[in-house]
Homo-oligomer: A and B are copies of this chain.
Amino acid sequence: MATRSTSQERQAGLIAAAASLFAAKGFNGTTTKEIAKAAGVSEALVFKHFPTKRALYGAILAEKVTLDELLGAVEESARKRDDRRVFTLIAAFRIKPAVDSTLLRLLLFSALEGHELSDMFFGKHHRVLYDHLATYIKTRIDEGAFRDVDPLLAARAFIGMVVHHRLLHEIFAVPMHQTHDATVRTYVDLFLTGIIRARRSRP
């Protein structure tokens, strides 16, 4: 017989169990009974830790998952004006499903179901990234390195390519026909260079 858990351990366990269930089946599709079973406790205990099912859901969304690590690496490459690396870092981070497959589903579910904390969730996980990238693009435009486009739109365009790819793969089960690295390289290349054969060596 295992010893009793502390309150914190239990809460963490409940959050973990609930997160994967909510991600798989949404808020309405998940019952408190299932959550309790997945966490290995009685249903009543769930309500000892979280007053309502919605509060438990909120606790999951509110859990901090920072982009700090990524943003740090991006910042460094940005200082060196290493465009390719800046975009590659972001693409690789956003495209890799290993980071957390449930997070994307959770994000979509929360937005679709109109949860009140959905905004905050989106802001913490995504908005900062758009803003960061848009700022960098603006800088590069001002420096004359990039063409004069709307920086925010450009940032969205790039992240859109990558996120959409992941969406297709993880949500719609569209098979990838290339490795992650190759895909990232293609997207970064496409975005940075453009698909049209540029008027380069016309005499």
Taking Cβ atoms with an 8 Å cutoff, the residues of A that contact B are 25-26, 28-29, 83, 105, 108-109, 111-113, 118-119, 122, 127, 137, 144-147, 149-150, 152-154, 156-165, 168, 171-174, 177-178, 183, 186-187, 189-200
Contacts and interface: CB of A to CB of B under 8 A. Distances in A.
Given A149-B190, A194-B191, A25 B177 contact: no
A43 to B, nearest CB: 19
A105 B198 CA distance: 38
Contacts of A112: 26, 105, 108-109, 112, 171
A65 B124 CA distance: 36
A112 B177 CA distance: 22
Contact of A190 (B154, B174, B178): B154
B154 A164 contact: no
Contacts of A193: 147, 194, 196, 198
Contacts of A113: 25-26, 29
A195 B196 contact: no
B149 A186 contact: yes
Contacts of A186: 149-150, 153-154, 157
Contacts of A191: 157, 190, 194-195
A46 B165 CA distance: 39
A156 B171 contact: no
A111 B105 CA distance: 10
Contacts of A111: 171-172
19 contacts: A26-B26, A26-B28, A109-B112, A112-B171, A145-B196, A146-B197, A147-B195, A149-B189, A149-B190, A153-B183, A153-B187, A157-B191, A160-B160, A160-B163, A160-B165, A161-B164, A190-B194, A191-B195, A192-B194
Contacts of A198: 193-194, 198-200
